[in-house]
């Protein structure tokens, strides 16, 4: 894609800064013209903050887990943070697209997708006539270190042109921190997934690393640097990643009744992982030299507690290797544990596997805090824990019939788009040249950009039809499916006009509509946002589950803040926005929040009581 085209895509949303979504950016930038920020959270606000500020994201850790399994946690992990800090138990994403890319971008910027532009993990770029991955670079960048010749092929996730933060349109807390310190403040961002490491790290982090299942190594990319940091090279050279070969993932706490705490181990709808079986114990596939078999093994590693353990090794190496938290000024460390999400997709939230990885996550935090106590010093760091999204119950299990009476599994390719295109043909008639290609993105690719539907404007106009009218019909048809709640057009969002609502659904649709407005970016979103009823899983897979909806099980996330200057006020039950995380991190670093941030530091943290 040309440089001028990319520049155009950036200028389009900026030109609409006072319109839908963009007003957030304008409002916040106006507030920042006052010294120290609008809420007194400028450089003097963190007098008691420690030398290291740590952001920990557990990908797909739903907000209720910390209460649901609290009695099974040890005293030194989540419970230490709950009692010694602040726990926001009713925290929700305030926007509709509850996916990994938007979640991490929102955590890092404090802004909704309407401002930072990461509307989904992927979207359709009309000008380029191609799908775009959320951390796809404007030009190719090689992985560092380079992949070995026999590890060629497409990555498990992401773009085959490498990764970079080029698609991110808003400032992160790391960007603001580096600008405030003249580049002296260090920002390190580590994860299994590329999109999480990139979006947390911002434009120019000191280090950004993610894992690749083609060779079992942590990589940075050519956008960031030409050589791997020595501490990352040492973790790769240790080949700890190969140490699970021939072993099994078994229960962390065999003394507990997993059936009672989570549900059956062989519940309907659960998946099988990567050669890992459906039930405990889960074997790791054989590790061989054959590329496909080797990739399956590494996929199994990251889809198990081993993935979090491996990442924690990299985290400890980074803290020690960079001497984070021991310099003249503060540093920022961002860590996203991806294995919780990969496990949750296969086995669902009411499974032995999710219970097990959550118990192990508690131990990871206990070990992390103990490590920071030793390396940085107790009282000299701040840790914030959150998640990027929640997850939907597996519909086949019918565990919550009163909450989700419509629970079922449907697919974009099999159930929605064929019926929609047939309805459009019937309503508008066939063109003389044959059936119209009504959609820009169809078949398998449509699943990647869901829940947005992109109409083919050129084909529609060639028929003498107005794309706006067709979008209205498509939204109404989608909303009338028995398993769908509503369809919302981009025109309705821009006009702030609620879509037609069925009897008894107005309150629910109105709430979803407000979340949709915060998820809408005019240059990247499609023509119709499709929203299923609660409990309905729209997925191309016959087992497992996912997320992405604006419903509470997908938007409910935990927020815990602990450490230097953070009051030990414990559980806070009022409902709060997940966008409080970025300004809280900025407060701990002693800088203003990022320019697009829309929330303030919570009062009990800012006031220290």
The predicted pLDDT at position 458 comes to 96
Domain range for 459? 409-482+484-532
Q: How many CB atoms lie within 10 A of CB 433?
A: 8
Do the beta carbons of residue 338 and residue 59 sit within 8 Å?
yes
| Structural domain includes residue 69 | yes
- Split at pLDDT 50, 70, 90, the class of 154 is confident
428 and 470 both lie in a single domain: yes
The predicted pLDDT at position 147 comes to 94
pLDDT of 499 above 70: yes
Burial class (CB in 10 A: 0-12, 13-18, 19+), 224: buried
The alpha carbon torsion through 406, 272, 306, 213 (nearest 10 deg) reads: -100
| Structural domain includes residue 600 | yes
The predicted pLDDT at position 532 comes to 97
pLDDT of 91 above 90: yes
Taking the complete model, does pTM exceed 0.85, yes or no?
A: yes
Task: Return the minimum-mean-pLDDT range out of 26-35, 104-113, 293-302.
Answer: 26-35
Q: Which residue has the higher pLDDT, 7 or 496?
A: 496
CA 498 → CA 17, 446, 481, 509, 550, distances in Å? Answer: 22, 25, 18, 8, 16
The predicted pLDDT at position 501 comes to 86
Nearest to 438 by CA among 482, 478, 481, 486: 478
303 and 429 both lie in a single domain: no
Exposure of 347 in the CB half-sphere (CA atoms within 13 A): 29
For residues 485-504, average pLDDT: 93
Q: For residue range 209-264, what is the model confidence (pLDDT) as tens digits? A: 999 999 999 999 999 999 999 999 999 999 999 999 999 999 999 999 999 999 99
**What gap in Å lies between CA 468 and CA 474, rounded to an integer?**
10
355 and 443 both lie in a single domain: no
- Split at pLDDT 50, 70, 90, the class of 448 is very high
Element (H, E) at 220: strand 217-221
| Structural domain includes residue 288 | yes
Q: Would you list the DSSP string of 449-467? A: HTTEE-B-HHHHHHTT--H
The predicted pLDDT at position 120 comes to 98
pLDDT of 121 above 70: yes
Q: What CATH number did the domain enclosing 507 receive?
A: 3.30.1360.150
- Split at pLDDT 50, 70, 90, the class of 153 is confident
372 and 429 both lie in a single domain: no
| Structural domain includes residue 543 | no
| Structural domain includes residue 175 | yes
105 and 187 both lie in a single domain: yes
569 and 469 both lie in a single domain: no
- Split at pLDDT 50, 70, 90, the class of 500 is confident
Number of domains in the chain: 2
The predicted pLDDT at position 531 comes to 98
pLDDT of 394 above 60: yes
| Structural domain includes residue 128 | no
Q: Which residue has the higher pLDDT, 21 or 221?
A: 221
pLDDT of 109 above 90: yes
Ramachandran category for residue 162: left, alpha or beta (phi over 0 → left; psi -120 to 50 → alpha): left
| Structural domain includes residue 233 | yes
461 and 597 both lie in a single domain: no
- Split at pLDDT 50, 70, 90, the class of 3 is very low
487 — phi, psi (to 5°)?
-125, 135
pLDDT of 31 above 80: no
Q: For residue range 503-515, what is the model confidence (pLDDT) as tens digits? A: 888 899 999 999 9
60 and 164 both lie in a single domain: yes
469 and 570 both lie in a single domain: no
**What gap in Å lies between CA 496 and CA 69, rounded to an integer?**
41
The predicted pLDDT at position 374 comes to 97
290 and 365 both lie in a single domain: yes
The predicted pLDDT at position 30 comes to 33
390 and 508 both lie in a single domain: no
Q: What CATH number did the domain enclosing 51 receive?
A: 3.40.720.10
| Structural domain includes residue 103 | yes
53 and 84 both lie in a single domain: yes
The encoded tokens of residue 237 equal: 């050279």
- Split at pLDDT 50, 70, 90, the class of 324 is very high
**What gap in Å lies between CA 204 and CA 187, rounded to an integer?**
8
For residues 559-573, average pLDDT: 97
């Amino acid at each position: 894609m040309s440089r001028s085209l990319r520049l155009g895509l950036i200028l389009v949303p900026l030109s609409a800064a006072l319109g839908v979504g963009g007003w957030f950016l304008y409002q916040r930038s106006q507030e920042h013209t006052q010294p120290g920020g609008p809420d007194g959270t400028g450089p003097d606000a963190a007098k008691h903050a420690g030398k290291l500020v740590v952001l920990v994201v557990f990908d797909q850790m739903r907000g209720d887990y910390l209460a649901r399994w609290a009695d099974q946690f040890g005293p030194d992990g989540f419970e230490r943070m709950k009692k010694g800090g602040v726990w926001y138990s009713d925290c929700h994403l305030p926007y509709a697209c509850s996916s990994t890319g938007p979640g991490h971008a929102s955590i890092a910027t404090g802004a909704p997708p309407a401002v930072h532009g990461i509307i989904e993990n992927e979207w359709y770029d009309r000008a380029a006539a191609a799908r775009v991955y959320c951390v796809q670079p404007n030009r190719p960048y090689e992985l560092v270190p380079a992949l070995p010749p026999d590890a060629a092929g497409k990555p498990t996730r992401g773009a085959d042109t490498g990764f970079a933060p080029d698609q991110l349109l808003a400032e992160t807390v790391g960007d603001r921190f580096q600008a405030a310190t003249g580049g002296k403040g260090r920002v390190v961002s580590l994860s299994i997934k590329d999109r999480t490491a990139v979006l947390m790290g911002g434009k120019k982090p000191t280090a950004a690393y993610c894992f690749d299942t083609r060779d079992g190594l942590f990589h940075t990319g050519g956008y960031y640097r030409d050589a791997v940091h020595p501490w990352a090279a040492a973790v790769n050279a240790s080949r700890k990643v190969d140490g699970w070969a021939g072993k099994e993932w078994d229960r962390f706490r065999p003394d507990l009744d997993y059936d009672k705490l989570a549900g059956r181990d062989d519940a309907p709808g659960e998946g099988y992982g990567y050669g890992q079986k459906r039930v405990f114990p889960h074997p790791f596939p054989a590790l061989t030299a054959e590329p496909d078999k080797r990739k399956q093994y590494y996929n199994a590693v990251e889809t198990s507690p081993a993935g979090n353990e491996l990442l924690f090794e990299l985290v400890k190496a980074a803290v020690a290797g960079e001497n984070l938290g021991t310099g003249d000024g503060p540093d920022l460390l961002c860590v996203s544990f991806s294995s919780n999400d990969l496990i949750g997709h296969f086995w669902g939230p009411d499974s032995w596997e999710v219970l097990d990885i959550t118990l192990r996550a508690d131990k990871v935090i206990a070990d992390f805090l103990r490590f920071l106590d030793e390396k940085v010093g107790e009282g000299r760091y701040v840790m914030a824990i959150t998640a990027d999204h929640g997850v939907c119950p597996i519909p086949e299990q019918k565990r919550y019939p009163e909450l989700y009476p419509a629970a079922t599994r449907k697919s974009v390719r099999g159930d929605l788009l064929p019926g929609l295109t047939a309805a459009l043909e019937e309503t508008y008639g066939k063109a003389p040249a044959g059936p119209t290609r009504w959609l820009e993105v169809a078949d398998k690719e449509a699943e990647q950009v869901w829940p947005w539907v992109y109409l083919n404007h050129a084909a529609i106009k060639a028929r003498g039809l107005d794309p706006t009218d067709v979008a209205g019909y498509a939204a109404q048809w989608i909303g009338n499916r028995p398993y769908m709640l509503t369809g919302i057009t981009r025109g309705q969002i821009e006009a702030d006009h609620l879509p037609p609502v069925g009897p008894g659904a107005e309150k629910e649709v109105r709430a979803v509509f407000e979340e949709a407005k915060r998820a809408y970016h005019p240059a990247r979103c499609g023509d119709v946002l499709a929203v299923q009823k609660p409990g309905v899983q729209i997925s191309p897979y016959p087992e497992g589950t996912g997320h992405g909806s604006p419903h509470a099980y997908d938007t409910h996330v935990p927020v815990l803040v602990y450490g230097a200057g953070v009051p030990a006020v414990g559980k806070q039950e009022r409902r709060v926005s997940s966008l409080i995380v970025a300004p809280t991190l900025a407060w701990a670093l002693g800088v203003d929040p990022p320019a697009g941030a829309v929330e303030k530091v919570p009062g009990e943290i800012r006031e220290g009581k």
